[in-house]
Structure 1
Amino acid sequence: MSKSIKVIYGDIKINIKSLNNKWWLDFYYNNKRIRKSTLLIANSNNLTHIKNVIIPEIIIALTGSKEVEYFKKDITLDEFSIKFFDVYKPTVREHVYTSRLSYYILKIKPYFGNHLLNSITPFELESWQNKLLIRHKPNSVAKYRSIFYSIFEKALLNELIKYNPLSRIKSPLSINKKFKKLSMVDDEIVNPFNKNEIINILENATGNLYYFIFITFYTGIRPGELISLTWNDIDFEKKRIAVDKTTVSGNVGDVKTQSSVRYIDILPPLENKLKELKNITGEYNYLLLNQSKKPFFSHDILNLRFRKLLNKIGIKERSIYNLRHTFASHMISNIKNGIDILWVSKMLGHKDASITLKVYAKFIKEEDDIRINKLNKMGIILDII
């Protein structure tokens, strides 16, 4: 631990010194030297308390100002992270901010909170990452790492560190990564239901879950977007649904991205089903209501009921989000029948068709005889023998 640490505010420079195992403050104000013991033991916890509580109180008493600027070299990760999350909060949705902050508090702060920001090394970060991988999946560790990476990037932007130490450590998603085999396609996250499965699901679903499944299957709408729909969003005359909000933990807010603000076309089977649903919930504001005739707090309860339904009817368990994948994959697989990839991308709320193709290109299928015929024609073009 450093024996002397400097804190500066305007013309006031305060030295925090360790003397006889106690923290002392030494500074000049109005040409008068002030040198007093804090009576606090010289350890990292008390140092943080001095910086965050005692010195601000001194500055307020002397100048009336509530701002304290630390020497850059003396900022701890925790001190900088407070500033980071203050700036970060207005830029993301509330649930994203809450989850990222919890990642920091639970997975990062216990390891590095009291470390000086510019002292954290790649070796220490690699050790931290490896410890997390013992108890957590690579995808989870990648999430914790992501917010840590962003904190370092902000520090780098403000010239508080010379480089981002996490940039020198391999992502947990690239460590011991195995190549996928063709037989592993069914294990992908994008694991749509086939036509017979959808028929079986709809025949056994009841109540609001039935309408949730039907609407998602015919639109590809995201679960949070669907439970946010009101009857004012449905335009039967123009045959479209306005999507510009989503619900997370009871809060109705903005959708995922700007491209997610869109109109969804109402296909003929869906139009009939929506009119049927309007006879049930039309007197209320929202399309889908819980048992208390109120909008859903989140789609989690529907997801739980959906999984139970799949188990009951003997279909491989998947999340309710796969209904969105089912819509997309079924449409993509019928491109040869006139389905426009741009239309599918627009329905899904993707920024452009390249994103849609990146996720669903493997579902663009072609009959073997057609494919072989094409190969023969291409062979003729290149034939030089």
Structure 2
Amino acid sequence: MKPTKYKNSKGEPRWMIQAYFGRDIHGKRIMKKRKGYKTQREAIIAYAQLLEERDNQSLSNKNMTVKELYDVWFPIYSKGLEPSTISKVTSYFKNHILSDTKRLKVSELTPPLLQTTLNNWALEAKSGVVWGRYFKKMITYAFFNDLIPSNPFDKVTTPKVINNSRERKIDVFLNSEQLHRFLKYWENKRIIQYAYFRLISYSGMRRGEILALEWSDIDFDKKTVSINKAIGLDYRNGTTKQYVKEPKANSGRKLHLDSTTLGVLKKYKQECEEDVLWPGIHKYMDFNVPERWLQKFKNDPEVDDDLKNVTLHGLRHTHATVIFEQAAINGKAAPLKAVQKRMGHATIEMTLNIYTHVTDNENNLVDELIEKGFS
């Protein structure tokens, strides 16, 4: 924009200039403005200098490496993110993405090069597809800010062949009968262990949610537990720190608890002298403690082999699966919306996609129906 004339607050004539400098992370135009010049000639000279500044920036952008772009983009992108998310994304870039791309010039990234890179990442690890998504976010930022004339990711597709070698086994959850045997084992162990595994199995809480519980969150009279916070992990700077955060996907909720689970918690409360249910060195119990309990369980030669695949997340999975299983056994439709609310899922699709694995009992019901024939 060429110099324009205006009057300042004193009514004196002055000249103003402004120039376009690209877009911010939200796609909003960036305009640099200068004003206060007494003559048009001064404004014209300043305008030429401003355009030269923009051209020099553009030339510098052509030589910008992926690592330099990351250093600009990530502080902006990470604002407002949970520390646990920042830790995870930082790890993706420093351990994987940048190791392959940091010396490449952003202006020289082409669709074929990016497609090959994403395909290789997908074959390298199951999370390789996720690395590609974050890489795309960063390159899209460069495009919105006019650091590159076009977005090469517009012509790149998500890899269809991925590495499933580290994928979890499907059978990490238990059916009703297996859950009974699992809890029977813990019934004869320390009360804190039995209370933990009983509660997570009969509530479907996430690991971070159950660790953050305080006794004030449990209403023994109304038979409910309030989930209003969770424990997160921040493992930046070579250390691991716990912090209290909001439940995932704003999934705060109040759940009904069965009488047996409440009875176990009452018994446990008699020997727990802290405000939190699972006290630890830094107030809350460490994430690894229940993992160690479960690993010791798996190493016990007395434990049935069909129980040894279960994981802590699998016990959350178990809760939803058993609800579906028991509904089917009793000839009722699974209450999907109620299960979604209980599990704290953001969408009903998550409940359907993740928690509708068919158990052996449900398979047997289908087999019986087919054997009897349809009327």
- CA drift at 1:231: 0.9
Contact 1:311 1:317 in 2 (8 A): no
- CA drift at 1:164: 4.0
- CA drift at 1:369: 6.6
Fraction of identical pairs, as percent:
22
More RCO (CA 8 Å, sep 6+): 2
Structure 2 counterpart of 1:48: none
> Does the alignment pair 1:254 with 2:254?
no
Structure 1 counterpart of 2:40: none
Q: How does 1:89-238 map to 2 (within 5 A)?
A: 89-129=78-118, 131-132=120-121, 136-137=124-125, 139-166=126-153, 168-172=155-159, 174-175=160-161, 188-189=169-170, 191-205=172-186, 206-207=189-190, 208-238=192-222
**375 and 191 in structure 1: CA distance in 2 versus 1, 3 angstrom threshold:** farther
C-alpha separation in 2, matches of 1:262 and 1:119:
49
- CA drift at 1:266: 1.3
C-alpha separation in 1, matches of 2:323 and 2:33:
67
User: Structure 2: 5+ residue runs without aligned partners?
Assistant: 1-20, 23-30, 35-44, 47-52, 234-241
- TM-align CA RMSD: 3.6
- CA drift at 1:98: 1.4
> Does the alignment pair 1:303 with 2:301?
no
Q: How does 1:310-325 map to 2 (within 5 A)?
A: 310-312=298-300, 313=303, 314=305, 315-325=307-317
- 1:153 corresponds to which letter in structure 2? T
- CA drift at 1:200: 3.1
Structure 2 counterpart of 1:46: none
Q: 1:76 aligns with which of 55, 65, 68?
A: 65
Can you list the C-alpha shifts for 1:35-56, whole angstroms capped at 9, x where unaligned? xxxxxxxxxxxxxxxxxxxxxx
Q: How does 1:13-24 map to 2 (within 5 A)?
A: none
Contact 2:173 2:318 in 1 (8 A): yes
Alignment coverage as a number of residue pairs: 308
Contact 2:129 2:158 in 1 (8 A): yes
C-alpha separation in 1, matches of 2:121 and 2:355:
32
C-alpha separation in 2, matches of 1:302 and 1:125:
41
C-alpha separation in 1, matches of 2:143 and 2:260:
54
- 1:171 corresponds to which letter in structure 2? T
User: Structure 1: 5+ residue runs without aligned partners?
Assistant: 1-6, 13-29, 32-58, 60-68, 179-185, 378-385
Structure 1 counterpart of 2:351: 356
- 2:366 corresponds to which letter in structure 1? D
- 1:144 corresponds to which letter in structure 2? W
- CA drift at 1:85: 1.4
TM superposition score normalised by structure 2: 0.70
C-alpha separation in 2, matches of 1:308 and 1:373:
43
C-alpha separation in 2, matches of 1:202 and 1:293:
28
Structure 1 counterpart of 2:274: 284
- CA drift at 1:213: 1.0
C-alpha separation in 2, matches of 1:152 and 1:316:
44
**159 and 318 in structure 1: CA distance in 2 versus 1, 3 angstrom threshold:** farther
**105 and 70 in structure 1: CA distance in 2 versus 1, 3 angstrom threshold:** farther
Give the stretch that moved more between structures: 71-80 or 307-316: 71-80
C-alpha separation in 1, matches of 2:116 and 2:96:
13
TM superposition score normalised by structure 1: 0.68
C-alpha separation in 1, matches of 2:75 and 2:246:
20
